[in-house]
Amino acid sequence: PKLDVNINLEVTKHKKPGIVFDIDGVLVKGKNVLPETFKTLKILDTLHIPYIFLTNGGGKTEKKKAQELSKRFHVPIREEQIVLGHSPMRNVPDEIKKKITLIIGPDTCKEVAKSYGFEKPVLSKEILSWKPEIWPFEDQIMFDCPYDLDKESFGAVLMFSDSCTWGQDIQIACDIFRSQNGKLGTQQVPYVKQAVPCYFAAADLLWSNNFPLSRFGQGAFKIALSKLFKELTGKPIEIIQFGKPEKTTYDFAKELLEKFSKNYLNEEISNVYAVGDNPSVDILGANNYGWHSILVRTGVFKTGENDKIYPAKTVVNNVLDSVKFILSQEN
């Protein structure tokens, strides 16, 4: 596209702003790329301005996501520019990675877990073949369980990405948490403590696609799981939370942005701007981390001056306006 926007930033300027883009509701809506996205990213490439993507979504490796976004956005994108909800899970301790782990999310999450070093990831639908009565609502068992669950124990439950099998996931996860040392089919009587840790890649209650109303995210699943666990045991479930607005995820993203900027663009970063559509996730996270938050009106947030509970530092209509604003600040 033709760059008819007023570009004020000198290409030679010593330090550049760094930009952290949310994806859903900012650059895309479901299968559609928002029209402003193409021009926005072209401008940034032309000006050598470093940017990364920080999404609570997932379900593929960072490499696959980079390839997918390059195709959709018509600009070259590297895996070193991608932080997904589950990206920090590569840092889960090795002793957990060696054990069987229940991976919640689309089937592709199993490959992602393997790429992070998890040696025995398993999906709930594979567990059904071990004892179909564990979830007695499936007419046909389609998948084999690769491990002997009569002998081996679980090391963790990891929520990787939005699941379309909430019922069986919650049932089996609760079974594992209440088991004796992670051995599925056993039970602590009385319940003493959560047998294995639980990790979550994100906790957004809602996210935005091209349906008029926002959709349930992993935060909705988390509420259902936590409530049922409390009902069963009388105790709260302990969750190790990643994704925006958690600080661990922002530390991860900051390091990535700085490395990308130095290694690929040879640029130092002045200020970091975070562009998002979800006040309780993107704006809260950026504000807490000391980044300049910019809220767009194309996603979860749609109308109004600013969010009342989690106000952004700047509010604009869309992603192109966010970059125009950043350029006006950095000149």
Q: Which of residues 63-102 bind ligand G3P (CB under 6 A)?
A: none
**Residue 56 binds which one of Mg ion, ligand G3P, none, with CB within 5 to 8 A depending on kind?**
ligand G3P
| Using rule CB under 5 A, residue 36 touches Mg ion | no
Please tell me whether residue 162 binds Mg ion under the rule CB under 5 A. no
Q: Which residue has the tokens 């689309």?
A: 106
118 Rama sector, left if φ>0, alpha if ψ -120 to 50, beta otherwise? beta
285 binds ligand G3P (CB under 6 A): no
Q: How far is the CB of 243 from ligand G3P (least distance, A)?
A: 8
Angle of helix 62-73 relative to helix 36-46, nearest 10 degrees, comes to 100
| Nearest-CB residue for Mg ion | 25
* Minimum CB distance to ligand G3P, residue 169 (Å): 16
Binds 205: which of Mg ion, ligand G3P, none (CB < 5-8 Å by kind): none
Phi/psi at 175 (5° precision): -60, -45
Given Mg ion, ligand G3P, none, residue 204, with its beta carbon under 5 to 8 Å by kind, binds ligand G3P
For position 55 contacting ligand G3P by CB under 6 A, the verdict is yes
Q: Where does residue 186 rank: exposed (0-12), middle (13-18), buried (19+ CB within 10 A)?
A: middle
CB of 55 to ligand G3P, least distance (A): 3
CB of 53 within 8 A of CB of 272? no
Contact between 23 and 300 (Cβ < 8 Å): no
Only segment of 52-60, 110-118, 170-178, 311-319 that touches ligand G3P (CB under 6 A): 52-60
Structural tokens at position 261: 């900027």
In sequence order, which ranges of the chain are alpha helices (DSSP H)?
36-46, 62-73, 94-97, 109-115, 124-127, 166-177, 218-233, 247-260, 284-289, 319-330
Ordered DSSP codes for 75-92 = S---GGGEE-TTGGGGGS
Q: Does 217 bind ligand G3P (CB under 6 A)?
A: yes
**Among candidate residues 204, 180, 199, the one with its CA nearest the CA of residue 25:** 204
Binding partner at 162 among ligand G3P, Mg ion, none, C-beta below 5 to 8 Å by kind: ligand G3P
Stretch that binds Mg ion, among 24-32, 35-43, 229-237, 311-319 (CB under 5 A): 24-32
What Cα–Cα distance (Å) separates residue 63 from each residue in 59, 69, 139, 171, 305? 12, 10, 36, 32, 37
Does residue 25 bind Mg ion (CB under 5 A)? yes
Tokens 């567990």 correspond to: 127
Least Å distance, CB 189 to ligand G3P, is 37
Which of Mg ion, ligand G3P, none does residue 217 bind (CB under 5 to 8 Å by kind)? ligand G3P
Please give the Cα distance from 117 to 90 (Å, whole number): 7
DSSP state of 265: I
Asked if omega into 236 is within 30° of 0 (cis), the reply is no
**Looking at 17, 18, 22, 65, which residue binds Mg ion (CB under 5 A)?**
22
Q: Which of 43, 277, 312, 315 binds Mg ion (CB under 5 A)?
A: 277
The answer to the question of residue 22 lying near ligand G3P (CB under 6 A) is yes
Q: Which does 55 bind (CB under 5 to 8 A by kind): Mg ion, ligand G3P, none?
A: ligand G3P
Contacting residue, 19, 20, 23, 205, with ligand G3P by CB under 6 A: 23
DSSP SS3 for 324: helix
Given the complex with Mg ion, which of 53 and 160 has the nearer CB atom?
A: 53
As measured in angstroms, the least distance from the Cβ of 203 to ligand G3P is 9
Q: Which residues bind Mg ion (CB under 5 A)?
A: 22, 24-25, 277-278
Q: Which residues bind ligand G3P (CB under 6 A)?
A: 22-25, 55-57, 162, 202, 204, 207, 217, 278
